[in-house]
Amino acid sequence: MLCLSILLRDHAPLLLIDAASCKVQVGVLAADGVSHWATQEAEAGVAIFRCIEKLGVDLGRIRGFVFCEGPGSTLGIRTSAMAIRTWQTLAPRPAFAYGSLALLAHAIGRLDVTIIADARRSSWHAQKLGHPLRRLIAEELNGPLVTPRHFRTWSPEPTGTTVHDYAVEHLIETTKEMPLFRPTESPDAFLHHDPGFVTWSPTIHRAPVNSTQEG
């Protein structure tokens, strides 16, 4: 895992895309620490490019990509990952992923706080500082609970959950010396487990045998 200051030293200018929430956030980060940001609340395939246009990004000058791999909006994250893979095809450049809940956990900096996001099917993504990301049911969550603002939810938030701003511009600045970023050769959305596939053996459908007709 790498920290942002190392990425800036070795790969700036960086293009950062975070489409985990309803508000897509895009930043251009320079080696001298200066950054410029744009936010759009729209479908990710539109919002990402509106932000890039607003920032006047010259993609030919970008030397590396940083993106949020989740948890969050799977469609938004996969859209940003697909865009990065396309740009890498046009000109090979490294990509680095970070976790939305890990970013917020490190920014808050409290060991007792659990950062949560809806994982559907009555379960929650749960992140504690210094621990791996887990998927838990509501009854398994404990301690102070915090959820990022503008993240989609399908189930009622557990009682006592507080909402924290998910302004990546400020969270990134707060955590730039923390090892939150991992290199990835194939940007994509985070999965707790690799998808599994069941082997299907085709059989010919036959009518059931009537026992009275046997013999």
Structural domain count of the chain: 1
In this predicted structure, the answer to whether residue 116 has a pLDDT above a threshold of 50 is yes
- Angle of CA points 97, 101, 107, to nearest 5°: 95
How confident is the model at residue 202, as a pLDDT? 62
pLDDT tens for each residue of 6-34 = 999 999 999 999 999 999 999 999 999 89
Contact 130, 1 (CB under 8 A): no
Residue 133 reports pLDDT greater than 60: yes
Q: Determine, yes or no, domain membership for 211.
A: no
- Round to whole Å and give the CA distance between 80 and 16: 10
| Residue 67, in any domain of the structure | yes
Q: Is residue 196 part of a domain?
A: no
Per-residue confidence (pLDDT) for residue 190, from 0 to 100: 78
**Domain contains 190:** no
Give the whole-angstrom CA distance, residue 81 versus residue 70: 11
In 138-177, at which residue ranges do the beta strands (DSSP E only) sit?
145-148, 162-164
Cis peptide before 208 (omega within 30 of 0): no
Q: How many Cα atoms are found within 13 Å in the side-chain-facing hemisphere of 121?
A: 3
Give a yes or no: residue 200 inside a domain: no
**Contact between 44 and 73 (Cβ < 8 Å):** yes
Which pTM does this prediction carry?
0.88
Q: How far apart are CA 115 and CA 125, in angstroms?
A: 8
Cα 80–chain centre separation: 10
**How far is 71 from 75, CA to CA, in rounded Å?**
11
Considering the domain boundaries, does residue 209 fall inside one?
no
Q: Given the structure tokens 């200066």, which residue do they identify?
A: 34
Pairwise CA distance, residues 179 & 94, whole Å: 17
Residue 205, pLDDT score: 55
CATH number at residue 127: 3.30.420.40
Q: Following DSSP, what letter does each residue of 16-35 receive, concatenated? A: EEE-SSSSEEEEEE-TTS-E
Residue 199 lies in a domain: no
**172: containing domain:** 4-183
The total number of residues written for the chain in this structure = 215
Alpha helix stretches (DSSP H) within 16-134: 44-55, 74-90, 100-108
77 belongs to a structural domain = yes
- Residue 109 per-residue DSSP state: -
